[in-house]
Amino acid sequence: MLKTSVPTANIADFLVGGGEMGALMRAHDWSANPLGGPESWPQSLRTAVRLLLNTNHPMFIWWGPQLIQFYNDAYRQTMGPERHPSALGQGGRECWGEIWHIIGPQIDQVMSGGGATWHENQLVPVTRHGALQQVYWTYGFSPIDEGDRVGGVLVVCRDVTADYVAAAALREREAELARVQQIGRIGGLEVDLRTGFFNRRSPEYLAIHGLLPDATHESHEDWLRRIHPDDRDATEKKFLDAVASNVRDYTARYRIVRPIDGEVRWISVRSTIERDADGRAVRLVGAHSDITEQVLVEQALRQSEERYRTLADQLAELNATLAQRVEEKTRERDRIWNVSQDLLLVADRNGIWKTVNPAWTRTLGWSEAELLNRTSQWLEHPDDNGKTRAQVEKLGRSEATIKFESRFRHKDGSYRWLSWTGVPDQDHIYAVARDITAEKAAADRLRAAEEALRQSHKMEAVGQLTGGIAHDFNNLLTGIVGSLDLLQTRLNQGRVDNVAHYIDAAMTSANRAAALTHRLLAFARRQPLVPKSVDANQLVVSLEDLLRRTIGEAIDLTIVASDDLWNTLCDPNQLESALLNLAINARDAMPDGGKLAISTCNARFDDTMADAPALSPGEYVCIDVTDTGTGMSAEVAARAFDPFFTTKPIGQGTGLGLSMIYGFARQSNGQATIDSKPGHGTTVRLYLPRHQKAGAREPPSAAVSDERASTGETVLVVEDEPVVRGVVLEMLGEQGYQTFEAVDGPAGLQILRSDRRIDLLVTDVGLPGMNGRQLADQAREMRPDLKILFITGYAESVAMAGGFLQPGMEMITKPFDLGNLSRRIRAMVSG
């Protein structure tokens, strides 16, 4: 692995800025801390600290086993002098012992890999300024990855005590009002004077008017029908006069006939009429009292009215007190509406905004008048594709919507991210939005930092791969060049002894280089495969003798073939090679003997299975190779599929065996997994996709007794590499073929356009300009029955499963021996 040093002057660049806490971190003596100086801090910690110092949102970091603490200026303001500044660099357990029973398990969950957590309105009592305070927090714990483990915890938090206490107080006041109404048998109501429908009726109101508790709604006409016929006209006239005039307070007294039992009761009404800026009545808020007994008393004791005046005054005073409490409640609700930082909205079912609180102006800059009586469409970001409008339509269909996000335009032309929650209620839609622009920006910065970290890991792997390739190929090239050098020396000396030895040595190194290339292509999932329908049971059983000879007598081999095993679609040669490699790895892991088991089974996966491998949902054939060897640690198993990663001594392994198997499985649309523990052996599972067609044996190729041309067959060779082209042409000439040659596609087409006889086109796939497949397509337009043999050394453009080869086309992979090429050409020309 390549290591680079970082100049000392740039080590702490990530501590630049950050206000007071940035200065404290730079001045802190980290040498006495278990974490050490900033120059030794992990990159993920540096990234997180840089993010923490450059945000105005309260943030906190716990790092490492000791949970070393970092925090920014925004968080410092929430701490008392008991902890700041001593908390910087201190262990979390020592600093927060009094609340560790609350936050400790949450931190442990994140540190152990359990994922991020979120906590709203969490009571966390802390000591500030010498006193224990009941503080409510909304916060999230997110893991900070360090390699393949969690290195620390990033905390984004907000002190919500004021909001929580205000909400609790509001609930208490509402409960108090409900108790007062219940005790005083006062029925509260709210009427939308624009529609004539009652928006709200308290349980006491329903009881007074003799309505069922589940009565859904009430209109103006419903109310009129309950009024006693003798009182109906006068009562309606008084009500309509009050609405039409400019009065605010409306009172009435009349009789009703209760629907539930037909009983006549006297009702006393005290209410307030609310009007818009033009003086139009929009809403009535009032209280109804059943005063039947009072009226009866008045009628029975009218002659002694003075005697009971005091009682009437007391009742009036009580009613006034209750009305005052209702009015105070309304004012308190208005105050909450005005001071709330959340954006509150009331719209009709068509999405037209009817009421907004001042937070909209503070957040987006538009005045209330500019926002009302319009839909949200003019504010939406064009790239959101009407997301908010779609949610409004859902609400209009009485479907609640929870926490969707969209962007709204600020008056200065910029956009703000809002997180929405909305509910429908009768004729209105009620929505709450929160400005999450800062949180979005922080999340984007965090994602950018994580992507930079992933890119760093990727470049490390590329460096390791490049070094491994250079090492192995330099060794192989040394064997080839050295053998050819000695061969040339002997020939110049006129000596032919040991010539075959040098040729064999060069060929051995060249074949090893070809094998290494195939392994690299397998790892990269780019080697040309010849997929066929394969019976994995038959293939495994056919390998039994070879496997036993390979692993030796000290290892007990067991093969368990599943009944009714599905067929799979893969390259059988590559599957055989993969199983042989796995058997060799298992043998090396059991130097003192052991057991090797190969088993097959069918497997189904869907996207709801939490323990499924990284596969598309579907049906697969699974091949397990299990040994009882030394096993691997979690760290080694995690890197086992990496190219050139090996735990064997130098010279005893290339580190490409498992990476080749992984590449073969992935290129076959499958997966390879490892399950291993030190001292408990290893299981490698190959998942290959199910193939519905039954396996078929390849028909035996007809024996070619004479590979030489016998009827003057003509072959056109198109190859841009002069050495390769010359070798192929010389071999064809020795075999008696007529030959034509071309260095590129256009030159080959010129020959094909002539009236010359051409029995076979041999072309490289990777030609400059016009590639081999494009040449073949144009050649088939002129000569539809022309047979074509492709040559390729790199299969990036060769998608075997994508219909690359058509009838009458075949492919051979570089490097190839001339004997194999000759046989392939003879078979195609004679076929």
Residues 130-147 pLDDT 10s: 788 888 888 889 999 888
Q: Which two tokens stand for residue 427?
A: 């004729």
H or E segment at 374? none
Residues 191-232 pLDDT 10s: 898 888 888 888 888 888 888 887 777 888 988 999 999 999
Judged by DSSP in three states, 640 sits in coil
Residues 387-396 pLDDT 10s: 778 888 787 7
Provide the edge-to-edge strand list for the sheet that holds 343-348: 353-356, 343-348, 428-435, 415-425, 401-409
Residues 86-114 pLDDT 10s: 889 888 888 888 889 888 898 999 899 88
CA–CA gap between residue 93 and residue 70 (Å, rounded): 14
CA–CA gap between residue 722 and residue 726 (Å, rounded): 6
CA atoms within 13 A on the CB side of 316: 7
Helix axes 544-551, 572-588, angle to 10 degrees: 30
pLDDT band for position 450 (cuts 50, 70, 90): low
pLDDT over 90 at 707, yes or no: no
Mean model confidence pLDDT for the chain: 80
pLDDT at res. 709: 56
What DSSP string runs through 392-405? Answer: HHHHHTT--EEEEE
pLDDT at res. 410: 93
CA–CA gap between residue 33 and residue 334 (Å, rounded): 53
> Greater confidence, 573 or 498?
573
Is residue 307 a contact partner of residue 248, using CB atoms and an 8 Å limit? Answer: no
Residues 45-74 pLDDT 10s: 989 889 888 888 898 999 989 999 999 988
Phi, then psi, of 471 in degrees rounded to 5: -60, -50
> Greater confidence, 473 or 127?
127
pLDDT at res. 55: 87
Is residue 289 a contact partner of residue 319, using CB atoms and an 8 Å limit? Answer: yes
pLDDT at res. 476: 59
> Greater confidence, 305 or 353?
353
User: What count of other Cβ atoms lies within 10 Å of the Cβ of residue 316?
Assistant: 12
Catalogue all structural domains in the chain, each as residue range(s) with its CATH number.
Answer: 8-158 (3.30.450.20), 166-339 (3.30.450.20), 343-435 (3.30.450.20), 441-523 (1.10.287), 532-691 (3.30.565.10), 714-830 (3.40.50.2300)
Provide the edge-to-edge strand list for the sheet that holds 249-257: 197-201, 186-192, 281-290, 264-275, 249-257
pLDDT band for position 652 (cuts 50, 70, 90): very low
pLDDT at res. 698: 43
pLDDT band for position 637 (cuts 50, 70, 90): confident
pLDDT over 60 at 800, yes or no: no
> Greater confidence, 585 or 649?
585
pLDDT at res. 69: 92
Judged by DSSP in three states, 259 sits in coil
Write the CB contacts of 642 (distance below 8 Å, at least 6 apart in sequence): 461, 464, 655, 659
